[in-house]
Amino acid sequence: MAMFQGGYSNFAAKRAARHGRRTPGTSTPTQTVPPTENKQVENTNTKKRLSNPNRMLKGHPPQMAYPSAKGLQEITGDSFLIKCFKYVPPKTDISLEYETRQTDKAGVYNGLQHNVGDIAMNAPNDNGIRTAKQFPVKGSARLQNFGGSDAIKFGRDAEGRKHQPLYYVELPIPQDVNDSNTVTWSDDSMNIFQLAGLSAVNSFLKNPGQSFEEALDLVRAGIPDSMFSGNLKNQLTAIISGKAIDALGNNINTNSVLGRAEGTILNSNLELLFNGVNLRTFPFSINFSPRNAEESKMVKYIIRAFKSSMAAKKGTEEVGQGGAFLRAPDVFHLEYRHQNRTHPFLNSFKHCALTGMTVNYTQAGTYASYYDGTPVNLRMNLTFKELNPIYHEDYDFDENMRGVGF
């Protein structure tokens, strides 16, 4: 039992003093004032809004830190800061520029007689007022494609304000700090006949006025005569024969036919081509060893905050399974800190979703708890996945760039 008493110094005495009871070794009860943190946090039933108006924080304060001796305003080495945000859906839109135009011929337009050179007018509205017709400017279309991370970083809420964090959690730097950037490249092959057909289609699309046969003739003109010499006739005959047999229901490979008939195969023009981007995943493990009652509460608040934020929202006050739709969980922004600033070396993150969370309450190898039931040692495993991939343009190639980038 010495292990339990050493972790919570005078915990029983403090607990008894708050309730006006005596404990062994004390003559009179000591009156202590509960920390202000308790008054701020234990307001689940009152539904009192805390620091952020966009969400009601239930069961935890807006700012949390472990160990409790380190606060968000203290400059004490390196730390791991996690900010929670309300999820903002990605936004994809096309913007256009508009202009007024003059009529190039006389006539009736929208019920109004127009002469040559007049500004084109709209039909009258309910009040009988006409306005100039707005036409989209050719070539002015711009695609606005904001992913979830961009929408939070650059977007605005309904009141026109930048999106603010719902709460902060500052933790020690995890022991295993690493990042992994990957993109997908895959093998791709295309034989000479497929390339020729592709070239003919591209030529036809770029010049729709010409016929497909004309485009194909251009492709043939660009193929060396040596391609049509030698055993090409025999090779084509073998290919056609194989396709004819294949049409009857047998699966015959073109290269198998060529190999058996002529001892050749089609040049596959094998290339490694870029095939897509990937999303990064970051697993973190945080160990908790509460040293006093207040630190125990803080660990409980941190675990509760992450669990509630990663859960889907019913979006309704109804009980049970909720309504027809569910709203997305909250998302997070991760940041390594050094001397209370962005870390000058370690990697950066885009906004992430918390996709997995496990808590081991017997990290010490066996179950052991303090007087109030708090386990003496816990491990919290968090798995984050970024909302959007990393692109070349995300890197700020500046002499003052901090850290290694994403």
Beta strands in 150-205 (DSSP E): 167-171, 183-188
User: What are the tokens at 118?
Assistant: 């007049």
pLDDT score, position 5: 38
pLDDT of residue 340: 83
Q: How far apart are CA 201 and CA 42, in angstroms?
A: 69
Tens digit of pLDDT for each residue in 324-341? 888 999 999 999 998 888
Using alpha carbons, select from 75, 50, 54, 78 the residue that is nearest to residue 62. 50
Q: Are 43 and 60 in contact (CB under 8 A)?
A: no
Task: Please state the domain extents for the chain.
Answer: 1-32, 34-88+147-179+280-316+328-394, 186-275
Name the residue with tokens 């699309």. 205
Q: Report d(CA 61, CA 300) in Å as an integer.
A: 11
Q: What is the pLDDT of residues 276-307, one digit of tens each?
A: 999 999 999 999 999 998 999 999 999 999 99
pLDDT value of position 237:
52
Angle at 45 between CA 42 and CA 46, to 5 degrees: 85
What's the confidence (pLDDT) of residue 22? 42
What Cα–Cα distance (Å) separates residue 278 from each residue in 42, 85, 281, 387, 390? 42, 23, 10, 11, 8
Q: How far apart are CA 41 and CA 406, in angstroms?
A: 35
Helix (H) or strand (E) holding 257: helix 254-261
**Per-residue pLDDT at 121:** 82
pLDDT at residue 76 in the model: 60
**Distance from CA of residue 162 to its chain's centroid?**
18
Query: How many CB atoms lie under 10 A from the CB of residue 298?
Result: 23
* pLDDT (0 to 100) of residue 362: 92
What confidence score (pLDDT) does residue 246 get? 53
What are the 10-residue block averages of pLDDT along the chain, 406 residues in total?
A: 41 44 40 37 38 56 83 69 93 80 78 78 80 80 80 80 91 91 91 68 61 55 51 52 50 68 76 94 94 91 95 78 85 92 91 96 89 92 95 77 80
**CA–CA gap between residue 332 and residue 171 (Å, rounded):** 14
pLDDT of residue 16: 44
Cβ 262 vs Cβ 234: under 8 Å: yes
